Amino acid sequence: MAPRLLGRHFAELRSASMPVVIVAAVGSVLAQIAAVVQSAPLWLYVVAALAPWLPVLAMELFWTYRHYRWLALFCMLVIAQATYFLAHVAEAFGAFPMQRVQVAWAALVLVGVALLTTRFPRNPWLWVTLALAVATLLPLEPQLARLALAFVELAAFNVAFAYQLGRTYDAWLARAFPELPERVLIETTDRLEEVRLYPGDRIDSEPNRWYVVTRGRGTLLRAGPGEHEILLRVVGPGHVVREGGVLSAETTLELLTAPSGSER
């Protein structure tokens, strides 16, 4: 299952460096202040608050694509669906002119769900969501009916997302262990931990764990005679480290690790 690693990565914003997160946070606060000073409508205030975080979101989605491929589109559509529902709520209170974007937004979501359905045809909840997405294009009245339909569509898509999470494995794990069956890949993905080393950082490569390099370049060293170190090999994306030694990062090095034997 992928939820643990994916959820932790998103919650901790691991793809973005601290300066990027700080700039996004400061930009969000300044944009909100500007919206208040200009007496902007509520929906514009929300846009101003969220817009500076879009680069951070893009980084997280790119990481998700590198590790889980189509799950990145799933994540993007979950956010889009939630935003679509909140826009309907705002419309109910007269705070957002939903009619301006409803058709375009609903069509975009429909295309995304249709793509996911072709990729994951055995996910029954995606088919339910697809039918609901088609229904949102119909001219429904009253406004409460549109709001209820948007809520049901959001709920169905989140169930589809959770269903698929339990059947997803890390792409780097599959690349490192191509002989493993899908069931083992899914189970092993749930045991993965993420390690990030910056240039010059070192960690001891434990012999009872294996490491898969997903990004960057480093070296595997071993203590030699005296105080000298012996270079065992250079490691890069896709390489698996099983033997003991010292992993040293030459560039930012991202690793996935799990106890030895968990991949069997």
Low-confidence stretches of the chain (pLDDT < 70) are 1-3, 91-102, 140-141, 262-264
* 132 touches 151 (CB < 8 A): no
Q: What percent of the chain has pLDDT over 70?
A: 92
Q: Which helix (H) or strand (E) holds 47?
A: helix 42-50
Q: What is the pLDDT of residues 44-84, one digit of tens each?
A: 888 888 899 999 999 999 999 999 999 999 999 998 888 87
Residue range 178-259 forms a domain whose CATH class is mainly beta
Q: What percent of the chain has pLDDT over 90?
A: 58
Report pTM.
0.83
Q: Which helix (H) or strand (E) holds 218?
A: strand 218-223
Q: How many angstroms separate the CA atoms of 172 and 213, rounded?
A: 8
pLDDT at res. 97: 60
Which residues face 211 on adjacent strands?
A: 241, 257
Which residues face 233 on adjacent strands?
A: 220
pLDDT at res. 186: 92
C-alpha dihedral (17, 22, 28, 34), degrees to nearest 10: -140
Q: Which amino acid is at 236?
A: G
Give yes or no for a cis peptide into 142 (omega within 30° of 0): yes
Hey, where are the domains in the chain? 3-165, 178-259
Q: How many angstroms separate the CA atoms of 97 and 30, rounded?
A: 25
pLDDT at res. 101: 67
